[in-house]
């Protein structure tokens, strides 16, 4: 192939000519990690670990004083769930928009709880993080703010819990790791899907060896969000639509990745080595923007944006030679799915498409047998708090299990189930996938945020030893 033709094809694929084929112009617009950023990442990786936060138990606190930032999509649910947990006090509420803070206060009032201090405006969150009345900063803001807020909270002596993903760049991953190790403050990503009932069942079954050696897993976030992303009443300033209109890759990997990573003991006995990622073209979003703009000029700015491909598939290989597939599609008319497939040498478990299924051979076991597995192998946290969690709610109860476990660990001085290395690694798959897509699906190395500690770190503790002292206020809602 002559050089001119090669240059033409390259430009057609990743350059300005891509617009003619429906592909984004990612040569300048993709936000994947740059070569310079990856070089800095490998320099970070070479440095000695300052302090190992995996297995770290912070000093006990009888009462966990919480400040919640972001009261749009996720924040109000967090206020309501935490209002049921004894030993947790919501001391502060913050949102850029004051009316949302007022709505959060009404949730506390309904629960007969004291009014929280109010923060608002663009910098209100900084004052919250600086407050001496806060132990834990709970972050429910747009993605781009997660790391800046978590870092600021830890530097001001607070533990941080942030919605997913915890970061949007590899550089931010290292910022979280360095800050958590320096301050010895927890930084937990609020990956609620790790606390769903089937996911907890399969984690314990994997731990007990029922599925044999786990060799392959699949996860996903397949959720048609087109109408919500284009809604003026959805995400403030259309921030999530803008994410999908400026980045191309697996932008939201952690819901599918987190639970299967725990089954592999990632960061705790195995680690991710490299990935490859591929996206389709966009076949729907630009057309939808045009349809919206035809009747509403507000959407004109979204017509010529380089939308991400509808489906992204990312393949990850671990250091022990195992594989993980993670998919992301929020712009196609498909039923919701996180897949959650765990395949081992003795059996397989699969959640989507339903019903939940487990097989130890060539046939799925019967429902009665699955029910028995639930009774025998659901970990202690499910038996202890599961039914209450279903009553409180939050995606069927998994959100409440997550919140209760976080508070209980902090109150009893126990290590968290998810540490800063999980937050960094699981989130890093997004920018690394962007990098692979932009380079025509070439292999991308995955940084070791534990700096080798994964070889001796202990797996997630599925017992409640030393904890389970945190009570729940009477639940009357369904």
Task: For 346-376, write each residue's pLDDT tens digit.
Answer: 999 999 999 999 999 999 999 999 999 999 9
Residue 94 lies in a domain: no
Burial (0-12, 13-18, 19+ Cβ within 10 Å), 361: exposed
Q: Which residue has the higher pLDDT, 150 or 478?
A: 150
Mean pLDDT, residues 457-463 taken together: 96
Does pLDDT of 5 surpass 50?
A: no
**pLDDT, tens digit (0-9, with 9 covering 90-100), for 207-243:** 999 999 999 999 999 999 999 999 999 999 999 999 9
Residue 33: pLDDT band with limits 50, 70, 90: low
Does pLDDT of 32 surpass 80?
A: no
**pLDDT, tens digit (0-9, with 9 covering 90-100), for 54-79:** 999 999 999 999 999 999 999 999 99
Mean pLDDT, residues 143-163 taken together: 98
Does pLDDT of 27 surpass 50?
A: no
Angle CA 178–48–422, to nearest 5: 45
DSSP 8-state assignment for residue 298:
G
Residue 476: pLDDT band with limits 50, 70, 90: low
Q: Pick the range with the lowest mean pLDDT from 9-23, 204-218, 399-413.
A: 9-23
CB atoms near residue 22 (< 10 Å): 15
pLDDT at residue 15, rounded to an integer? 36
Q: Which domain holds residue 18?
A: 3-30
Closest-CA residue to 105 (of 89, 87, 117, 120)? 117
Does pLDDT of 1 surpass 60?
A: no
**pLDDT, tens digit (0-9, with 9 covering 90-100), for 380-390:** 999 999 999 99
CA–CA distances in Å: residue 138 to residues 58, 76, 85, 129, 182: 17, 12, 15, 10, 20
Pairing of strands 187-189, 159-162: parallel
pLDDT at residue 296, rounded to an integer? 98
What percentage of the chain has pLDDT greater than the value 70? 92
How many domains is the chain partitioned into structurally? 2
DSSP 8-state assignment for residue 185:
-
Residue 338 lies in a domain: yes
Give bridge partners of residue 316 from the DSSP assignment: 275, 324
Tokens representing residue 151 in the block: 């870092």
pLDDT at residue 461, rounded to an integer? 95
3-class SS letters over 395-453: HHHHHHHHHHHHHHHHHHCCCCCCCHHHHHHHHHHHHHHHHHHHCCCCCEECCCCCCCH
**pLDDT, tens digit (0-9, with 9 covering 90-100), for 415-437:** 999 999 999 999 999 999 999 99
Backbone angles phi, psi at 138, to 5 degrees: -110, 110
pTM of the full structure: 0.93
Residue 103 lies in a domain: no
Q: Where are the beta strands (DSSP E) in 152-271?
A: 159-162, 187-189, 214-222
Task: Measure the CA–CA gap between 29 and 27, rounded to whole angstroms.
Answer: 6
- 129, 153 Cβ separation under 8 angstroms: yes
- 340, 218 Cβ separation under 8 angstroms: yes
pLDDT at residue 463, rounded to an integer? 96
Does pLDDT of 19 surpass 80?
A: no
**pLDDT, tens digit (0-9, with 9 covering 90-100), for 265-310:** 999 999 999 999 999 999 999 999 999 999 999 999 999 999 999 9
Closest-CA residue to 419 (of 7, 55, 134)? 55
Closest-CA residue to 180 (of 56, 45, 92)? 56
Mean pLDDT of the chain: 93
Backbone angles phi, psi at 127, to 5 degrees: -65, -40
Instruction: Give the torsion through C-alpha atoms of 42, 43, 44, 49, to 10 deg.
Output: 100
Does pLDDT of 4 surpass 80?
A: no
Task: Measure the CA–CA gap between 379 and 386, rounded to whole angstroms.
Answer: 10
Residue 389 lies in a domain: no
Closest-CA residue to 266 (of 307, 229, 217, 314)? 217
**pLDDT, tens digit (0-9, with 9 covering 90-100), for 104-115:** 999 999 999 999
Closest-CA residue to 188 (of 417, 433, 435)? 417
Which CATH number do you get for residue 283? 3.30.360.10
**pLDDT, tens digit (0-9, with 9 covering 90-100), for 438-456:** 999 999 999 999 999 999 9
Does pLDDT of 17 surpass 70?
A: no
């Amino acid at each position: 192939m002559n050089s001119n033709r090669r240059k033409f094809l390259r430009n057609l694929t990743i350059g300005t000519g891509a617009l003619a084929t429906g592909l984004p112009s990612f040569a300048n617009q993709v936000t994947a990690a740059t070569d310079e950023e990856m070089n800095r990442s490998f320099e970070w990786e070479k440095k000695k670990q300052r302090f190992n936060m995996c297995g770290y138990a912070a000093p006990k606190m009888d009462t966990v004083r919480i400040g919640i930032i972001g009261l749009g999509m996720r924040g109000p649910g967090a206020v309501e769930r935490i209002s049921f947990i004894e030993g947790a006090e919501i001391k502060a509420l913050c949102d850029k928009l004051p009316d949302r803070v007022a709505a959060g206060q009404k949730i506390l009032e309904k629960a007969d709880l004291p009014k929280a201090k109010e923060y608002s405006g663009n910098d209100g969150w900084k004052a919250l993080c600086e407050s001496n009345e806060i132990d834990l900063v709970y972050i429910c803001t747009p993605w781009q703010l997660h790391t800046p807020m978590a870092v600021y909270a830890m530097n001001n002596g607070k533990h941080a819990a942030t919605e997913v993903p915890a970061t949007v760049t590899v550089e931010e991953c290292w910022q979280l790791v360095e800050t958590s190790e320096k301050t010895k403050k927890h930084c937990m990503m609020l990956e609620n899907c790790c606390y769903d009932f089937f996911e907890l069942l399969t984690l314990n079954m994997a731990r007990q060896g029922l599925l044999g050696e786990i060799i392959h897993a699949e996860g996903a976030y397949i959720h048609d969000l087109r109408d919500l992303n284009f809604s003026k009443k959805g995400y403030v300033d259309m921030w999530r639509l803008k994410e999908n209109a400026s980045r191309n890759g697996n932008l939201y990997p952690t819901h599918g990745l987190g639970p299967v990573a725990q089954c592999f003991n990632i960061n705790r006995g195995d680690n991710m080595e490299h990935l490859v990622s591929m996206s389709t073209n966009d076949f729907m979003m630009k057309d939808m923007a045009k349809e919206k703009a035809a009747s509403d000029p507000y959407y004109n700015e979204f017509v010529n944006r380089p939308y991400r491909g509808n489906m992204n598939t990312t393949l990850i290989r671990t250091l022990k030679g195992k594989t993980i597939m993670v998919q992301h599609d929020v712009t196609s008319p498909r039923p919701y799915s996180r897949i959650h497939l765990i395949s081992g040498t003795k059996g397989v478990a699969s959640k989507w498409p339903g019903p939940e299924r487990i097989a130890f051979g060539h046939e799925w076991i019967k429902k009665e047998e699955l029910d028995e597995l639930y009774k025998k192998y659901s970990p202690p946290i499910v038996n202890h708090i599961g039914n209450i969690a279903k009553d409180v709610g939050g995606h069927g109860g998994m959100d409440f299990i997550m919140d209760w476990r976080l508070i209980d660990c902090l109150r009893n001085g126990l290590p968290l189930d998810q540490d800063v290395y999980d937050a960094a690694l699981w989130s890093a798959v997004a920018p690394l996938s962007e990098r692979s897509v932009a380079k025509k699906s070439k292999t991308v190395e995955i940084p070791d945020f534990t700096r080798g500690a994964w070889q001796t770190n202990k797996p997630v503790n599925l017992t409640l030893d030393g904890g389970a002292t945190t009570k729940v206020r009477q639940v009357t809602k369904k």
